[in-house]
Structure 1
Amino acid sequence: MLHSTYPDVEIPNASIHDFLFGGLDDQTLERVAIIDGSTGAETTYRQLVAQIDLFAGALAARGIGTGDTIAVLCPNVPAFATVFHGILRAGATATTINSLYTPDEILNQLQDAEAEWLITVSPLLPGAKAAAARAGMPDDHLIVLDGAEGHPNLRGLLGEGHSAPEVSFDPATHLAVLPYSSGTTGRPKGVMLTHRNLVANVAQARALLSVGAEDRILAVLPFFHIYGMTVLLNFALIQRAGLVTMPKFDLVEFLRIIQEHRTSWVFVAPPIAVALAKHPIVDEYDLSAVRVVFSGAAPLDGALASAVQKRLGCEVVQGYGMTETSPAVNLIPAERPDIDKSSIGPLVPNTQARLVDPDTGNDVEVPESGASTPGELWVRGPQVMVGYLKRPDATAEMLDADGWLRTGDMATVTADGIFRIVDRLKELIKYKGYQVAPAILEAVLLEHPGIADAAVIGANDADGQEVPKAFVVRQTGADLSADDVMEFVAAHVAPHEKVRIVEFIDVIPKSSSGKILRKDLRARQQA
C-alpha cells in the first residue's frame, strides 16, 4: 500500500458552507470573490454570503431542505455560486447538469436524481422547459435566474428577504452534490458526494496548490463538472482569491479576459493547452500575469505542457482525479519543476493507493529506482464517494468492502511517489474533459437503418487529443458515407458526444460472449 508523501491535513467536521464561509473577518468580506469575465461586474465576499443566505431562505420558505434535490443547469456565471451554495446552505442536495445536454438527457438526470426543482438561465430555457414539462415539474419549480415570464427569478427570490434556515446534519453522511458520471463504463450514474467529501478534497488541494488571496483564477472549465466545482469554485473561495467566470470557451474572449483581468492561475483542459501552444493569435495578447497553467479533466502530454510553458513563460502542471473522488487524487505543485510534466505527480494528503496487477490481483512492487510496472490504480481516502445513487451493483464494482476505489486506469509509480497514467482499463472516452460512454453512442448508431453493427472507441485526432471514433458495418446495399453517420449521431446527442471519425469495417470483432473486442479495434488503427 502506498501513502501520500505529504503529511495528513486536518479535515474539519463541517458543512461545505461553514468550511468556506465561516469566520470571515471584515477585511476579507470586502475582498472581491467573483468577477464576471464578460462584463467586469464584481461580487464581494460580503455580497456573496448575503446572497447565499437569502437564496437558502427563499428555498426554505418553499419547504425545501434536507432530503430534497435541486437540479442546476447553468453555465459559469457569478449567480452559479449563489444558487449552488444556497442549495447546500438550505440543507438540500444539488445535482449539476451538463449545459450541453439535450432535453432527453436533462430529463434522464432529473428523473434519476428525483429532482423536483430545476434552476437554469434563459439561453438554456427551451431545453430545460421541455425536460421539466415531461418530468411533470410545474413552472413555479423551474427557476430562471435572469428572468422569464411565468417562472421565479433570482432577483425576486433574493428580494423576498427570508433569513437562511437553521439546518442540522452529519457532514460525513449528508449528500451535498449529485454530479453524474459514467464511472468506468455505461450510462451516467449519480455520484453521491457528502459535505465531508467536498471539504476533504478542498483541504487536500490546499496543501499542494499555492493559490493565494492576491491571485485571480480564470474559471472557464464548467462548475457543473466536479473539476470546476471543487478545484475552481470551492478552492478559489477558501483561498479568498478572485474567481473570474467565463460561461463558454472562445479563444479570443479567453485571451482578452486573461489580459484584462490579469489572471495568474489559468485552469484548462488539454484542448485549450493546444490552442495556447499553437494558435498564432496568442502572441497578440499580454499574458504576462499568468503564473501557472493547470491542466486537468484529461491527460496532458508532456511535450504539449513544455510548449505552453515555453511560450507563456509560466509553470504548467497537471493533476488526476475522477468525479468519484471529488475529484483530486494527484496534483503536481507548481513549485516542483523537478517533477516530469507528463506525470500526474504525487498523491494528495490523506490518500492511499495501490497498483494492482489486473491479471493476478497482486500489488505491483515499487522499485528502488525508476518506475514500476503498470497496475490498475486503486485509491482510498476521505474524498472517495459514498457510492452511486440507487445503483448498489455499480457501486460494488467500483468500491470494495475496505473502501478501495478501482479507477480503471493503469499507472506506474516511482520510488519517490510520482505517478503516471499509462493506459486505461475502462472504455470511457475523454473528449475535451467530458466523459463519453461508447455504449450510448453505439446504441444511437444502431438505430440507423443503414447500419448493421457498430463499435466506438477513443482515437487521437491531429492534435493528439482523444475523440470518439466509430467503426461501422453497413447494411447490405446501404449507401452510407462517413458524413451521414456523423450527422445522424449529432442529431441525437450533446455536442461533446458527437462521433468525430468514422471507419467502415466488414465485421465488429467480438468475444464468444458477444462483448466488443475494443483492443482489437485499437490494434487495427495502430497497424
Structure 2
Amino acid sequence: MAVFATSLRKKLGLNPGDVVAVMLPNCPEFPVVAFGALQAGCVVTTINPIYKELEVTHQVSTTGPKVFVTIPPCYETVVKGLQNAKIDAKIVVIDNPAAPVPEGAIRYSEISESGEADYDLLDKVEKKKDDVAFIPFSSGTTGLPKGVEITYGNLLAAVAIMQNEKNSYPKLTQGDFQDVVPCILPFFHIYGLVIALIGHLAKGCKLISLPKFSASLYLDVLDKQKPTLLYVVPPIAILLGKHPDVKAEHFERVRNVICGAAPLADSDVHAILEKCKQGELYVKSPTIMKGYHKNEKATKESLTDDGYFKTGDLGYYKPETGLYITDRIKELIKVKGMQVAPAELESILRSHPAVQDAAVIGIPHEIYGEVPKAFVIRKNGKETSAEELQSFVADRVAVFKKIEEVTFVNDIPKTTTGKILRKDLKKMYA
C-alpha cells in the first residue's frame, strides 16, 4: 500500500488534496488503491464499475480526478467519460492475464509493486478530522447524483462504533480465532466501504471479496470458506431462504446474518412533533457526512444549522417501545438493495425526441424488492414504443436502473407547482 501511495506522489505527480477516482468491483486491489490514495494525502471518489459513459461523465465533472483506477472491461467507458467532461486524468488499469491492459493505460503492477515506499514523504501528510477522505455519490433524489463528503472524523466514528461490542457483530482476531466475512456488498457504496471493508479490517477479519453476485458463486463461498458473518440485502436473504441448493451445512459456522441495522452509539434522533405524532426524522451523529461536494444548495437543504441530517423518513416515537419508520418523503426506488432516483430516469426519458414528459415510480418485485416503472406522454405526431424507450434508458445507465415497464398516458398528475404526484401514479398502477 505504501509503495502505491509513494508512486501516486512521485511517479504520477499527485499532491495532497488531489482526487483519485476508483472504479473497481470488490477485489483485493480495492483496499490497496483506496487506502494507498489516502496515505498519499489524496481524496478518493468511488464509482460503480457497471456505470455507463453518461454516469461516469457526471461524476468526474463534479470531482475532477487526476488519476483514475479501473479494470480492463471499464476502460473504454472511462476514456469516453473523461473526454466528455474534458478531464485529463492518468488511467491506471488492474493487470489481468485474461484481459490485456489497453494501450495508453498505466499498469497497476508498475506503480504498486515496483519501487520502494518513501515513508519520510508519506509521514509528512497531514490529515485533520474534518478533512474529506471519500466522495461516494448519492442516488440523487431530486436530480443527478451528488458527491457525499465523508471525513476522516466520520470514518473514525464509524470504526469506534464497530469496536463497541453492543453495536458490533465482528469479533477481534485473537490467537487462532478469526471471523470470516464474504463481501458481496459493494465497496464503492458507503455501507460496503465503511462497514464491510473498513470496520472488519479494523478487527482483523478475513474478507472474501466477491466482484459480482451470482447464486452459484455465493453458495460456493459458503461451502468452502465457512463464513461466520453474513451481511446481506433483502434479495439475498430471500435467495438463502428459497434456493434449492442452500444446505444447512452452509451455515454451520455462521454466528449472525445481518440485514438491517442496530441502534448506533452517539446518534441523536430529533423528534419534530410530539410523541406518537408523525413527522420527518432528523439524525445527528459523528458519522453524518460533512456535506455535498461543491453543492452548497443541496447541503443546506439536507443539513440543519445545528448539524441534524434530514433523513427523508417519516416516523413517530413511542416512549415505551421506541421509534417507528412509516414512510418516505424522498422519492427513491430500492432495486436489489441499490437506490435508484426517479428524477435521473425521468431526465433521460425526456431527452428522447418522442417524449413530451415522463414520471417514474417504483413497483413491487418479488425478488428485487422494487423496479422502476415509467409513465410517458408522447409528443404530438411522434411514435415510439415501450421497448424503444427501455432500450434508450438501458444504454445510458447501470443495469439495476433499467426501466421494467412503460405505460403511455395522456396526463401525469402534478401539483400546481409542477411536482409529480407519485402516490397518485401508484394508485393508478394498483
What TM-score comes out, normalization by structure 2 length? 0.90
Q: Which amino acid in the other structure matches residue 109 of structure 2?
A: R
Provide the rounded CA distance (Å) in 2 between the counterparts of 1:447 and 1:292: 46
Q: Are 2:236 and 1:269 equivalent residues in the alignment?
A: no
Q: Are 2:99 and 1:166 equivalent residues in the alignment?
A: no
The equivalent of 1:231 in structure 2 is 195
Using the TM superposition, give the Cα deviation of residue 515 of structure 1 relative to its aligned residue in structure 2, in angstroms.
1.6
**Other structure's SS at 1:492 match:** coil
Q: Are 2:299 and 1:381 equivalent residues in the alignment?
A: no
Q: Which amino acid in the other structure matches residue 252 of structure 2?
A: S
1:206 counterpart (163, 169, 188): 163
Q: Which amino acid in the other structure matches residue 160 of structure 1?
A: G
Using the TM superposition, give the Cα deviation of residue 351 of structure 1 relative to its aligned residue in structure 2, in angstroms.
0.9
Using the TM superposition, give the Cα deviation of residue 522 of structure 1 relative to its aligned residue in structure 2, in angstroms.
2.2
Q: 1:138 to 1:505 in 2, by over 3 A?
A: closer
Provide the rounded CA distance (Å) in 1 between the counterparts of 2:105 and 2:352: 38
Would the aligned equivalents of 1:75 and 1:247 in 2 still touch at CA under 8 Å? Answer: yes
Provide the rounded CA distance (Å) in 2 between the counterparts of 1:257 and 1:418: 38
Using the TM superposition, give the Cα deviation of residue 69 of structure 1 relative to its aligned residue in structure 2, in angstroms.
0.6
Q: Which amino acid in the other structure matches residue 170 of structure 2?
A: V
Would the aligned equivalents of 2:40 and 2:125 in 1 still touch at CA under 8 Å? Answer: no
Provide the rounded CA distance (Å) in 1 between the counterparts of 2:207 and 2:200: 6
Q: Which amino acid in the other structure matches residue 155 of structure 1?
A: S
Using the TM superposition, give the Cα deviation of residue 417 of structure 1 relative to its aligned residue in structure 2, in angstroms.
6.5
What TM-score comes out, normalization by structure 1 length? 0.74
Using the TM superposition, give the Cα deviation of residue 89 of structure 1 relative to its aligned residue in structure 2, in angstroms.
0.8
Provide the rounded CA distance (Å) in 2 between the counterparts of 1:137 and 1:146: 23
The equivalent of 2:268 in structure 1 is 352
Would the aligned equivalents of 1:76 and 1:219 in 2 still touch at CA under 8 Å? Answer: yes
The equivalent of 1:67 in structure 2 is 17
1:364 counterpart (259, 263, 274): 274
Structure 2 gap segments, 5+ residues each: none
Would the aligned equivalents of 1:90 and 1:167 in 2 still touch at CA under 8 Å? Answer: no
Superposed, 1:36-75 pairs within 5 Å as 52-61=1-10, 62-75=12-25
The equivalent of 2:186 in structure 1 is 222
Would the aligned equivalents of 2:54 and 2:397 in 1 still touch at CA under 8 Å? Answer: no
The equivalent of 1:180 in structure 2 is 137
Q: Which amino acid in the other structure matches residue 354 of structure 1?
A: H
The equivalent of 2:39 in structure 1 is 89
Q: Which amino acid in the other structure matches residue 97 of structure 1?
A: I
**Other structure's SS at 1:282 match:** coil
Superposed, 1:367-516 pairs within 5 Å as 372-415=276-319, 418-463=322-367, 465-476=369-380, 480-516=384-420
Query: After superposition, what is the alpha-carbon deviation per residue over 1:277-302, rounded to whole angstroms, capped at 9, x for unaligned?
Result: 2222224973323222212xxxxxxx
Q: Which amino acid in the other structure matches residue 59 of structure 1?
A: L
Provide the rounded CA distance (Å) in 1 between the counterparts of 2:232 and 2:27: 17
**Other structure's SS at 1:281 match:** coil
Provide the rounded CA distance (Å) in 1 between the counterparts of 2:350 and 2:154: 39
The equivalent of 1:108 in structure 2 is 58
Would the aligned equivalents of 1:175 and 1:194 in 2 still touch at CA under 8 Å? Answer: yes
Q: Which moved more, 1:507-516 or 1:81-90?
A: 507-516
Query: After superposition, what is the alpha-carbon deviation per residue over 1:492-522, rounded to whole angstroms, capped at 9, x for unaligned?
Result: 2221111112233331001112221112112
Using the TM superposition, give the Cα deviation of residue 449 of structure 1 relative to its aligned residue in structure 2, in angstroms.
3.5
Using the TM superposition, give the Cα deviation of residue 444 of structure 1 relative to its aligned residue in structure 2, in angstroms.
1.6
Structure 1 gap segments, 5+ residues each: 1-51, 296-317, 320-330, 332-345, 357-362, 366-371
**Other structure's SS at 1:286 match:** helix
Q: How many residues align?
A: 414
The equivalent of 1:247 in structure 2 is 211
**Other structure's SS at 2:250 match:** coil
Q: Which amino acid in the other structure matches residue 192 of structure 2?
A: G
Q: Which amino acid in the other structure matches residue 205 of structure 1?
A: M
Q: Which amino acid in the other structure matches residue 405 of structure 2?
A: I
Provide the rounded CA distance (Å) in 2 between the counterparts of 1:504 and 1:253: 40
Query: After superposition, what is the alpha-carbon deviation per residue over 1:405-437, rounded to whole angstroms, capped at 9, x for unaligned?
Result: 101011334436743432100112222222211
Q: Are 2:91 and 1:142 equivalent residues in the alignment?
A: yes
Using the TM superposition, give the Cα deviation of residue 53 of structure 1 relative to its aligned residue in structure 2, in angstroms.
1.1
Would the aligned equivalents of 1:430 and 1:436 in 2 still touch at CA under 8 Å? Answer: yes
Provide the rounded CA distance (Å) in 2 between the counterparts of 1:79 and 1:88: 14
Q: 1:481 to 1:462 in 2, by over 3 A?
A: farther
Provide the rounded CA distance (Å) in 2 between the counterparts of 1:150 and 1:492: 25
Q: 1:395 to 1:417 in 2, by over 3 A?
A: farther
Provide the rounded CA distance (Å) in 1 between the counterparts of 2:365 and 2:107: 43
Using the TM superposition, give the Cα deviation of residue 114 of structure 1 relative to its aligned residue in structure 2, in angstroms.
1.4
**Other structure's SS at 2:192 match:** helix
Q: Which amino acid in the other structure matches residue 129 of structure 1?
A: V
Using the TM superposition, give the Cα deviation of residue 146 of structure 1 relative to its aligned residue in structure 2, in angstroms.
1.2
1:259 counterpart (206, 223, 235): 223
Would the aligned equivalents of 1:118 and 1:132 in 2 still touch at CA under 8 Å? Answer: no
Would the aligned equivalents of 1:256 and 1:285 in 2 still touch at CA under 8 Å? Answer: no
Provide the rounded CA distance (Å) in 1 between the counterparts of 2:219 and 2:277: 41
The equivalent of 1:300 in structure 2 is none
Query: After superposition, what is the alpha-carbon deviation per residue over 1:185-234, rounded to whole angstroms, capped at 9, x for unaligned?
Result: 32111111111111111211332122122210110111000011001000
Using the TM superposition, give the Cα deviation of residue 113 of structure 1 relative to its aligned residue in structure 2, in angstroms.
0.4
Provide the rounded CA distance (Å) in 2 between the counterparts of 1:120 and 1:281: 34
Provide the rounded CA distance (Å) in 2 between the counterparts of 1:480 and 1:444: 15
Instruction: Tell me the C-alpha RMSD between the 2 structures.
Output: 2.1
Using the TM superposition, give the Cα deviation of residue 184 of structure 1 relative to its aligned residue in structure 2, in angstroms.
4.1
Provide the rounded CA distance (Å) in 2 between the counterparts of 1:273 and 1:67: 40
